[in-house]
Structure 1
Amino acid sequence: MRVLIIDDEPLARARLAALLGECEGTEVIGSVGDGEAALGSLGELQPDVLLLDINMPGLSGTAVAQRLAGRTRPQVIFCTAYEAHALKAFELGAVDYLLKPVRLERLRDALQRAQRRLADAPREPTAYLHGRMRGEQVRIALAEVICLLADEKYVVVQHRRGELLIEESLRQLEEAYPEQLIRLHRNCLVPPARLLGVKTLADGRVLARLDGTELSPEISRRNLPAVRKLLRLG
């Protein structure tokens, strides 16, 4: 199993990595210190399991889990020093709740539960967008998309490795992937996991902060309530 560690304490991350080294069949694919970094790395790293702290600055562990609720992958195992959030964790579908300091035996048990849950659920098919890049037909996984921008008769797909032109309209994409894209403006869609926050300019315009890019697309008044609700919930 591919495991991503999320904890704001470097020593805690190091300890978990060491424990995972003693768990057969697991691979530590990354280690990050906050929830925003975790969400931003999911498309690239494709983890099977998150070892997720709860009390972190910025986006909390429960907020990260709420964003991921209902997905087959990744499965969430909370690792925390506090018992108070256990009920909420299981309401969000966490596979287990480990108290720090995490013991090797409990970690192995939790990973086995995650493995069984993953085995019982079919892997979600990867969605791809197809278009042209430098004159060649290419495809890009939707999980790698940062944002989609309307540009005359094409849509420009901004992703981690560059840009891609596709012929589908934003409306067609929005209807095809209603759970995987949210509209910011009539000319812009983004994957919800890319949304880090919003910033309001002096002239009243509201811009989105997106993971993986310096681009800050404008959010229309019509779509702002849905964006704020998404950020508040997750």
Structure 2
Amino acid sequence: MDEIAVIIVDDEKEAREGVALLLEKDKEINVKALCKNGLEAIKAVQEHQPELMFLDIQMPSINGFEVLSSLSEANLPEVIFITAFDQYSLKAFENHAVDYLLKPFTDDRFFKALEFAKKRIYANRKNKENSNLTGLLGDIKEKATNNSPQQIVPEGGSNNKIINNRLVIKADGKIYFVDLSQIIWVQAYDYYVKIHVKERFYLVRESMKKMEQFLPSEQFIRVHKSSIINLHHVVELEPYFNNEFVATMSNGGKIKTSRNYRDNLSGIL
């Protein structure tokens, strides 16, 4: 039986290492990565394609549920949530969690959850073998009747485009056409940007410089090295220290401007 690739995600070092230590007792488990935040988790899933993820819920910037929403269905592993807060249990199972471990948990409770996850993984492998065979036969038939190449929006920053006042984003295994009017603000996040719309965000591998270049300047202005705001969603500007401001956005978010980008604000001040 092939080993099960696992990643562990928790912003507490002791918690990550504690789970890893427990997993050492199971020879069928291969821990591929220990991640201290949501962005590391997303990268680890893309790199290692794990079949199981132990995932903390409350983490800074990107929480556990946001990690899952940023992954395509094809990349989704089985998930065991680990948290110190029991109010998330219903939402965890709405996100198709295998189990929900409430800290502190016993070793017996941990291995019970692990055993159930392994059974689901082995069942998924068997189902995938059958579906792969069916899919292969379907591909052969399709190629015999259709030789034209498929047209898609490739992943990658420079290929995100604006069409008919909509930003084209490939995420979650789908292509989204996001009206520019829906974009509240854009946030720099390591080698990615988070494009915030109402009640969610899209995590895209892109630079702030490129975003600033292709978003229309009459609507979007850069107010900080890490922030581009949509003027249509600015509710108020509150004076801050050193000629800076705090912008309140339509979703309630607070974004601090920078003196270095004050000239960009001159048109609305």
Counterpart residue type for residue 37 of structure 1: E
Partners of 1:66 and 1:92 within 8 A in 2? no
Q: Deviations over 1:164-213 (max 9, x none)?
A: xxxxxxx9xx7xx983444679xxxxxxxx964149xxxxxxxx9745x6
Counterpart residue type for residue 42 of structure 2: L
Counterpart-to-counterpart distance in 2, 1:71 and 1:209: 17
Counterpart-to-counterpart distance in 2, 1:33 and 1:178: 22
Counterpart residue type for residue 173 of structure 2: E
Cα pair distance change 1:196/1:87, threshold 3 Å: farther
Cα pair distance change 1:89/1:103, threshold 3 Å: same
Cα pair distance change 1:29/1:17, threshold 3 Å: same
Structure 1 segment 119-138 matched on structure 2, within 5 A: 119-121=122-124, 122-123=127-128
Counterpart-to-counterpart distance in 1, 2:19 and 2:103: 10
Counterpart-to-counterpart distance in 1, 2:16 and 2:172: 35
Counterpart-to-counterpart distance in 1, 2:178 and 2:91: 30
Residue aligning to 2:173:
179
Task: Please tell me the root mean square deviation across aligned C-alpha atoms, in Å.
Answer: 4.1
Cα pair distance change 1:40/1:102, threshold 3 Å: same
Q: SS at the partner of 1:77? A: strand
Counterpart-to-counterpart distance in 1, 2:91 and 2:25: 29
Q: Which of these residues, 3, 9, 14, is aligned with residue 11 of structure 1?
A: 14
- 1:82 paired with 2:85, answer yes
Counterpart-to-counterpart distance in 1, 2:71 and 2:29: 21
Q: SS at the partner of 2:90? A: helix
TM-score (norm 2): 0.51
TM-score (norm 1): 0.58
Unaligned runs of 5+ in 1: 126-143, 151-170, 186-193, 200-207, 226-231
Counterpart residue type for residue 108 of structure 1: F
Residue aligning to 2:119:
116
Q: What count of residue pairs does the alignment treat as equivalent?
A: 171
Residue aligning to 1:203:
none
Q: SS at the partner of 1:58? A: coil
Partners of 2:38 and 2:64 within 8 A in 1? yes
Counterpart-to-counterpart distance in 2, 1:91 and 1:18: 29
Counterpart-to-counterpart distance in 2, 1:61 and 1:109: 22
Partners of 1:23 and 1:108 within 8 A in 2? no
- 1:63 paired with 2:66, answer yes
Counterpart-to-counterpart distance in 1, 2:8 and 2:172: 29
Q: Which of these residues, 32, 37, 41, is aligned with residue 38 of structure 1?
A: 41
Counterpart-to-counterpart distance in 1, 2:49 and 2:32: 9
- Structure with greater helix percent: 2
Q: Which of these residues, 102, 124, 145, is aligned with residue 99 of structure 1?
A: 102
Counterpart residue type for residue 179 of structure 1: G
Cα pair distance change 1:54/1:184, threshold 3 Å: same
Once the two structures are TM-superposed, the CA of residue 220 in structure 1 deviates from its matched residue by 4.8
Counterpart-to-counterpart distance in 2, 1:24 and 1:33: 24
Unaligned runs of 5+ in 2: 133-153, 161-167, 180-190, 197-201, 217-228, 231-250, 252-269
Partners of 2:98 and 2:116 within 8 A in 1? yes
Residue aligning to 1:149:
159
Counterpart-to-counterpart distance in 1, 2:37 and 2:66: 11
Cα pair distance change 1:77/1:197, threshold 3 Å: same
Higher Rg: 2
